[in-house]
């Protein structure tokens, strides 16, 4: 592998408490030196990162790549290519692919295709139950040992039987696996498509009450306390959910939570007059909920920001609102939307970078997310001051579905490195 010198960059590595202007030397896919470069180091390539931020490659906790099963919406190659342009070097894929990741072969297929594409590292979550049907436990040990799954989840498919969920948590705890939970009570959420409140009433759309999430959070917390399993709550959207999980953290339960970037900027008011780009699950909540999510980030109860990337074909958003498919193409807006939180005073720049690097790495149990000497050279270099206008039709991702079309954002990735190899610009 080539020897690369990243010169004059502003290095920010929250994991190692680095925040300074310094050079970074890379050799054989690993970080050779940070700051004082050895006299005998001769770079084959030099990247001038003056006036730019150099940080660990971003880690996205939730990205659906659509392959296998929905290749008309996207592929592992197309979406990891978009990830590279967004500074993302590691993507975590939920198990609700087709076929479902309930056996090691599916996980291995995804890993092989990602490696063949070569743009980003992809890790997988195995299924909690077979076929995600909530009835029979999946073979978690095989998924972990043979499939390389870093955790387990039932995605957004409900496990209605409390005993089955308890047994699943006990099994996961015995394997040392983290359970990734999407808190939703299907009986309460029903066929809802927006947050239950004034907007849903005005538009005549079926609403999803806050209790659909909070009731599920309460159940999971009770079972986590009983089983001792390590658990992570995915894409939390409600103020009361943050409050309950923060209390559990204070009491010593091994729980963490993340939030999708769009939930930190949009509310149910953005649905406007049936804007299907704002059809999301969990739905956009009230301004009070959005502010609570921001506060949860600021006080470190919410430890990570994810994209919750769900690319769709154009037709998926063209039906009447309730009949459109939920989701947003979000890889390419993850970093700039997170940077906006710095301008809004929610997080410092170093804290923001931590939510996209070392914190998701800890949740997934990965050694990445840092710039320590000897570590893997997964690196993102971005210009924090470059302004640009979101034009979804120009996304590199196959999914052009975004609620941020026309927004002016700040922050643009200039270089992305994976294992010491430049993957962007292509």
> In this predicted model, what pLDDT tens digit does every residue of 250-282 receive, in sequence order?
999 999 999 999 999 999 999 999 999 999 999
- Classify residue 290 by its DSSP letter: H
Catalytic one of 23, 184, 289, 308 = 308
Tell me the pLDDT tens digit for each residue of 288-340: 999 999 999 999 999 999 999 999 999 999 999 999 999 999 999 999 999 99
Instruction: Give the residue ranges of DSSP H helices in 179-309.
Output: 186-189, 198-203, 211-227, 239-250, 287-298
Q: Which domain holds residue 87?
A: 57-364
- Tell me how many domains the chain contains: 1
Q: Let me know if residue 354 belongs to a domain.
A: yes
Taking Cα atoms as reference points, which of 176, 170, 102, 82 lies closest to residue 401? 82
DSSP string across 165-193: HHHHHHHHHHHTPPEEE----HHHHTT--
Look up the CATH number of the domain holding residue 217. 3.20.20.140
Element (H, E) at 30: strand 30-35
Cβ pair 188, 282 in contact under 8 A: no
Is 349 a domain residue? yes
Q: In this structure, is residue 321 part of a structural domain?
A: yes
Q: How far is CA 153 from the centre of its chain?
A: 14
- Supply the pLDDT for residue 94: 98
As a whole number of angstroms, the distance between CA 279 and CA 285 comes to 11
Q: Is residue 225 part of a domain?
A: yes
pLDDT digits (tens, 9 = 90+) for 4-51: 999 999 999 999 999 999 999 999 999 999 988 999 999 999 999 999
CA–CA separation, 353 and 43 (whole Å): 27
Within-domain flag for 139: yes
Contact 113, 67 (CB under 8 A): yes
Query: What tens digit of pLDDT does each residue of 212-261 get?
Result: 999 999 999 999 999 999 999 999 999 999 999 999 999 999 999 999 99
Beta bridge pairs of residue 232: 180, 256
Looking at residue 35, what is its pLDDT?
85
| Residue whose tokens read 């940080």 | 55
pLDDT tens, position by position, 344-377: 999 999 999 999 999 999 999 999 999 999 999 9
| pTM of the complete model beyond 0.95 | yes
Q: Is 54 left (phi over 0), alpha (psi -120 to 50) or beta?
A: beta
Is residue 67 predicted with pLDDT exceeding 80? yes
| Exposure b/e, 190-229, CB count within 10 A at least 16 = b | eebbbbbbebbeebebebbbbebbbbbbebbbebbeebeb
Residue 192 inside a domain? The answer is yes
Helix (H/G/I), strand (E/B), else coil: 154:
coil
Q: Alpha-carbon distance 115 to 101, whole Å?
A: 18
Q: Three-state secondary structure along 72-107?
A: CCCCHHHHHHHHHHCCEEEEEECCCCCCCCCCHHHH
Domain assignment of residue 3, yes or no: no
Residue 148 belongs to some domain of the structure: yes
> 223 vs 156, 230, 238, CA distance in Å?
18, 11, 20
Backbone angles phi, psi at 241, to 5 degrees: -65, -45
pLDDT at 1 over 70: no
What region does 308 belong to: left with phi over 0, alpha with psi -120 to 50, or beta? left
Q: Is 378 a catalytic residue?
A: no
């Amino acid at each position: 592998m080539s020897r690369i010198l990243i010169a004059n960059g502003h290095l920010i590595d929250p994991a190692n408490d680095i925040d300074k202007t310094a050079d970074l030397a890379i050799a054989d896919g690993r970080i050779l030196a940070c700051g004082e470069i050895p006299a005998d180091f001769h770079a084959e390539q030099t990247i001038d990162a003056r006036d730019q931020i150099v940080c660990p490659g971003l880690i996205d906790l939730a990205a659906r790549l659509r392959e296998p099963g929905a290749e008309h919406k996207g592929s592992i190659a197309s979406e990891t290519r978009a990830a590279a342009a967004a500074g993302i070097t590691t993507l975590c894929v939920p198990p609700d692919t087709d076929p479902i990741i309930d056996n090691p072969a599916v996980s291995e297929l995804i890993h092989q295709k990602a490696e063949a594409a070569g743009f980003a590292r992809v890790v997988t979550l195995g299924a909690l139950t077979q076929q995600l049907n909530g009835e029979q436990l999946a073979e978690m040990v095989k998924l972990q040992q043979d499939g390389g799954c870093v955790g387990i989840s039932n995605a957004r498919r409900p496990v209605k039987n409390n005993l089955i969920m308890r047994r699943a948590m006990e099994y996961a705890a015995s394997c040392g696996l983290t359970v990734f939970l999407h808190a939703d009570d299907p009986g309460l959420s029903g066929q809802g498509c927006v947050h239950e409140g004034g907007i849903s009433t005005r538009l005549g759309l079926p609403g999803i009450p806050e209790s659909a999430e909070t009731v599920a959070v309460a159940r999971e917390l009770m079972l986590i306390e009983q089983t001792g399993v390590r658990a992570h709550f995915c894409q939390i959207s409600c103020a009361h959910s943050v409050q309950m999980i923060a209390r559990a953290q204070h009491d010593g339960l091994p729980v963490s939570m993340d939030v999708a970037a769009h939930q930190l900027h949009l509310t149910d008011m953005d649905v406007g007059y049936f804007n299907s780009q704002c059809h999301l699950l969990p739905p956009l909540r009230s301004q009070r909920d959005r502010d609570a999510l921001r506060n949860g980030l600021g006080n470190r109860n919410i430890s990570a920001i994810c994209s919750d990337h769900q690319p769709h074909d154009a037709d998926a958003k063209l039906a009447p609102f309730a009949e459109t498919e939920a989701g947003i193409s979000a890889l390419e807006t993850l970093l700039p939307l997170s940077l906006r939180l710095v301008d809004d005073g929610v997080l410092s720049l170093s804290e923001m970078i931590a939510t996209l690097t070392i914190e998701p790495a800890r949740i997934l149990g990965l050694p990445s997310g840092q710039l320590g000497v000897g570590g893997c050279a997964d690196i993102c270099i971005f210009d924090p001051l470059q302004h640009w206008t979101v034009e979804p039709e120009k996304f590199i991702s196959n999914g052009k579905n975004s609620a941020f079309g026309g927004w002016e954002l700040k922050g643009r990735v200039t270089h992305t490195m994976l294992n010491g190899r430049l993957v962007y610009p292509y």
